[in-house]
Amino acid sequence: MAACCVRSRRRASWRRRPPPPSPDGGADLESQLRRVHSLALAGQLAAAHALSASLAAARPDALLALSLHGTLSLQRGDPAAARHSLSRAHELAPHDWRVATNLAACLLSLGDSNGATPPALAATRGAPAYAGAWQLLAKARLGAGAADEAERAAREAVRLDEEGRGGVAGGVADEAPLLTLCEALLARRELEGAKAAAARAAARAATPRAAAAAATLAARVESAAGRHEAALLALDAALKHDPSYDEARRTRLHAITPALRAGLLPRPRDVFIATYPKSGTTWMQQVVCLLRGAPPHVDVQAAAPYVEAALATGALTLRALRERPAPRVFKTHADWQSLPVAGCSDEGPAEGVRVVCVVRDPRDVCVSLFHHSRAIRGIAYGGSWDEWCDDFLAGRAPVPMAAEGGDWFDHTLGWWAIARRCPRRVLWVRYEGLLADPLGEVRRVARFLAPEHAEDEALLRRVVGTSSFEQMKARHEADPLNHSLRTEGGSAHFRNGKAGDWRRHMSEAQRERFAEVMRSRLRGSGLEDAFTFD
C-alpha cells in the first residue's frame, strides 16, 4: 500500500509543476527529462520508462534522471530496476526525502524491511510532518520484527494524518496508517487496541479494497483472541467488499481449521472420511453413506460434504455444519493434527467420533493428482510431468485447501500413527485392498461403523455394486456441474481407478527416485513393506 501511495503522490507532483532545471548541466538532459514528464502525463508510461532508463544509464550522476527512472520502474512493476536507480539517487542526495521515500517503498515491495529502514528514517528526518514517511517507517520496522518501534511510528503517522498534516506532497490514504497501527498492535498482542484501530480504519475506508483490508485485519484480531467464528464472519464481510482481495482469501484459508476445531462440536456416530486427495475419497464417501442408509443414487458431496471447502466457498456456514442432522458424515483431506472437529487429543478423536482413513500407493496418487491438477480450473498446473514428480516428492504439489502444503508422507505417517494408537476410533483402509476384495473391505468398514450391518450380506453386496467404479463414474459424468469445473480437454475426475498405473507413466529414473524417497521417509514406521518396488 505504501508503494501505491508514493506512486499516486508522484503523479500528482507531475501535474503541479514541471521539473526544475537540471543542476548537473545540459540543456539536452533537461529537455529529455521534460519529455519523460510529458509522456508520463499523457499516460504513455512504457515510453516514459524507456526514455528514463536510457537517461539514467547515460547519466548515472544525474539525480533527477535516476529518481524519475526509479519512480517509473515502481509504477511499471519492476522494483528491482527501481532499487538500482533509487539507491544511486539516494547516495547522491541522502537528505532528499522524496528519493528516500520512494526507495523505502521500493525495498518494502521487495520484502527487504531491514534495508527499507534507513531510507524511511531519512524520509522522516527530511519531512517530519509527512505522514507517509512515518507510515513507511512503521511498515519497515514491523517487517523487521520491531513491533514496539512500528507502533510508535504508526501512531505518529495516524496523528499527522488526522491533523491533516500530510506534508508537502499531501497525506496518505486515510485508512493506511490505522491499518499499519492495527498490525503493530496485533504483533504486540494488544488485541483490544488492534480491534479499535481496525474499526477506525473500516470507518474511514474510501474504497472497497480499503474496506476489505480493514475487515481482514479485524478477522486476524478475532482469530488471535480465539473468536474463530467471528473471524470467519469478518472475512465474509471482507470478500463482500472486494471478492478479488487475495489477502482475505489467504487469511480465510488459515482461519478455517482453527474455527472447525473450536466450533464443530462432536457427536456420537460422527464419521470423518480422511484421505490424501485422489486416494479413493469419493468411493469411501459412497460406501459410508450407503451403510448409513442413504439411497443408491445419493449425492455424496452433499451427504458427506468436504468441510474445509464448504466453509471456504461459503456453501455452508459453521452453524449449518453444526446443525446437520445425525448421523453426520464429513470428508476431509486434513492431516491428523488438523482433523476439523473439536475434542481431539493425543489419544485420538473425541469419544464417539469415527474416522475412516483411506491410503493409496503414493506413486498412483502422484499420477492421478497430476492429471487432476492439470484439469481443474483454479489449479491448471502448467509444469511438466517430471517437474510434478519432483514437486510431489518435496511436498510442493498444489493440494486443494492445503494452507501449509501437501506432503503425502507427513499426511500418511500422521494418520498411520493415530490409527495404531486408537484402532477403535480410526480405521486404516488400503485403496488397493478395496480394489482386490471390495466385499471384504466393505464388511470391515461396516463392522467398524455399524456392527449390526456387518453380517447383512444383501446390504453389503448392494453397497459394493452401487459403489463400483463404473457406476460412480457414470453418475459423476452425468452432472453438468462437474464438467464446468474442468479445463477444456481436461481429464475426468474418475480416470481409471486401477492400482499400479504409475508403471505406465514413470521413467526408470523416476521409479528409482520414488523408491529411494519412499524407503527413506517410511523407514521405521511399520509401513516399510506396505508398497512394492518392482
Last residue of one domain, picked from the residues 263, 290, 312: 263
Give the tens place of pLDDT for each residue, 103-162.
999 999 999 999 999 999 999 999 999 999 999 999 999 999 999 999 999 999 999 988
Q: Cell triple for residue 184? A: 503493530
What is the H or E stretch that residue 354 is in? strand 354-359
* Whether residue 345 sits in one domain with residue 420: yes
C-alpha 439/C-alpha 444 separation (Å) is 9
The proportion of the chain whose per-residue pLDDT surpasses 90, expressed as a percent, equals: 63
Q: Residue 105: is it exposed, middle or buried by C-beta count within 10 angstroms (0-12/13-18/19+)?
A: buried
Q: At what angle do helices 191-204 and 208-224 cross, to 10 degrees?
A: 170
DSSP string, 221-240: HHHHTT-HHHHHHHHHHHHH
Q: Which of 263, 289, 317 is the last residue of a domain?
A: 263
Give the count of beta carbons closer than 10 Å to the beta carbon of residue 7. Answer: 16
* Phi then psi dihedrals of residue 187, to 5 deg: -65, -30
d(CA 302, CA 285): 10
Say if 1 falls within a structural domain.
no
pLDDT at position 497: 58
Question: pLDDT category, 174, cuts 50, 70, 90?
Answer: low
Strands 354-359 and 426-430: parallel
- Residue 426 shares a structural domain with residue 324: yes
Residue 70: band (very low, low, confident or very high) from pLDDT cuts 50, 70, 90 = confident
pLDDT of residue 469: 67
- Domain, as residue range, for 383: 265-522
Handedness of CA 40, 46, 52, 56 (dihedral sign): positive
Q: What is the pLDDT of residues 217-246, one digit of tens each?
A: 999 999 999 999 999 999 999 999 999 999
Query: Does 493 fall in a domain?
Result: yes
Q: Which of 354, 350, 296, 298 shows the shortest CA–CA distance to 328? A: 354
CATH of the domain at 76: 1.25.40.10
| Residue where the block lists cell 456456514 | 317
- Give kind and range of the element (H or E) at residue 183: helix 176-187
The answer on 516 and 390 residing in a single domain is yes
- 297 pLDDT exceeds 70? yes
Type of residue numbered 419: A
Task: Give, rounded to a whole angstrom, the gap between the first and last alpha carbons of the chain.
Answer: 55
489: left (phi over 0), alpha (psi -120 to 50) or beta: left
Identify whether residues 70 and 100 lie together within a single domain.
Answer: yes
- Does residue 279 contact residue 431 with C-beta atoms inside 8 Å? yes
Q: HSE, CB side, 13 Å, CA atoms: give it for residue 497.
A: 19
Kind plus residue range of the DSSP H or E element containing 150: helix 147-162
> Could you tell me if 394 and 308 lie in one domain?
yes
Give how many domains the chain has, as a whole number.
3
Residue type, 288: V
Contact by Cβ (8 Å): 157, 172: yes
Residue 255 lies in a domain: yes
CATH classification at residue 302: 3.40.50.300
Model pLDDT for residues 477-519, shown as the tens digit of each residue:
555 444 344 444 444 444 455 788 999 999 999 999 999 999 9
275 and 362 belong to one structural domain: yes
Q: Cβ(22)–Cβ(29) under 8 Å?
A: yes
Q: Are residues 76 and 210 in the same domain?
A: no
pLDDT beyond 70 at 279:
yes
Determine, yes or no, domain membership for 287: yes
On whether residue 177 sits in a domain, the answer given is no
The structure's pTM equals 0.76
How far apart CA 383 and CA 394 sit, in angstroms, is 15
The cell for 317 is 456456514
Q: Are residues 233 and 314 in the same domain?
A: no
Does residue 456 lie within any of the structural domains? Answer: yes
Q: What pLDDT is stored for residue 34 in this prediction? A: 84
39 vs 218, more confident? 218
Distance (Å, rounded) from C-alpha 160 to C-alpha 166? 6
Report d(CA 34, CA 20) in Å as an integer.
Answer: 9
**246 and 275 in one domain?**
no
Beta-bridged to residue 275, according to DSSP, are 358
Residue 18 in this model has a pLDDT that exceeds 50: no
> Do 337 and 466 belong to one domain?
yes
In the chain, DSSP finds a helix count (H) and a strand count (E) of: 28, 4
pLDDT band at residue 296, thresholds of 50, 70 and 90?
Answer: confident
When computed from its CA atoms, the radius of gyration of the chain, rounded to whole angstroms, is 29
Q: Do residues 280 and 313 both lie within one domain?
A: yes
| 530 φ/ψ angles, rounded to the nearest 5 degrees | -80, -15
Note whether residue 532 is domain-resident.
Answer: no
Mean pLDDT of 148-177: 77
**CA distances for 341 relative to 31, 269, 279, 317, 348, angstroms:** 68, 13, 22, 14, 11
The whole-number average pLDDT for the span 377-402 is: 81
Cell of residue 127, nine digits = 519531512
